[in-house]
Structure 1
């Protein structure tokens, strides 16, 4: 894969920027050039946050409408807000109970990460559950620039001195992966 453009979307407090950093570091670990940019809006009050991530040889950090290879949405409502960034056939991974409608031509992968995060007693883990799900679902077709192993290594390295947080983060990633396969 020569390069990939992603949009990561949610609301303040859902860990969009952390998820972007993890993906960026995984790409850099593989020698890829990475550019990111984010819009914070009312992040501290639950406002919309959108992150642009480009891995590969790109000149600008912003993803133009109609060019994103994928959209990772922490909230179902954000799919409608940000699906215009997707190229034809671009995939969507969304935290929702059921797949959003009106997205013909876009493969949609849905998981109720909110419910799973509450099940494991860690509501802050929904971003990593969603990422684990995306990694497992998209790895089959090579639709994501990094692998689950690369992301796990990145999380381990980034949180090496934060034992409980590292363990909880890895547990959330693996839960998302298991649900994608099961």
Structure 2
């Protein structure tokens, strides 16, 4: 019983054991419960008793499991992706590496992630300055976002340590390795799940 923060706090413990996670959302609206298709209130008990169990992927950052996403706000970092290619961000960019759900990234667009596909989804949104003439005319900030699937990424910062935020609360500093752990968690889901 609890909200997204409760799930985030216990996920590393649950992931180390062969147990099934069932969620009864309490308190603030739970994005994770919504994504899993678990309704609020008494109806959550009906969903849990139906026992529809799915095996889903978890993310892992420097040995710690996370459920939803790792965010890196306004950073100049290098991403070494899947041991195959590098993305070097010379300008400050907001980065989100997502495992599950339709979370609003820094760009305001949703990141659609499937927790059963064996991939994390990364979004990179430059935080460069506005084009003064166009932005004053259109009242918009122009950014070009990049989205790409990854299995493993090493995040390195050359100038200074950068803080990463896992599941909206756990703070980890660079260098960091983020990877997918396929089918790591058994979880009770409802018919209204978003994946």
Using the size of structure 1 for normalisation, the TM-score is 0.25
Judging by fraction of residues, say which structure has more helix: 1
Between structure 1 and structure 2, the one with the greater Rg is 2
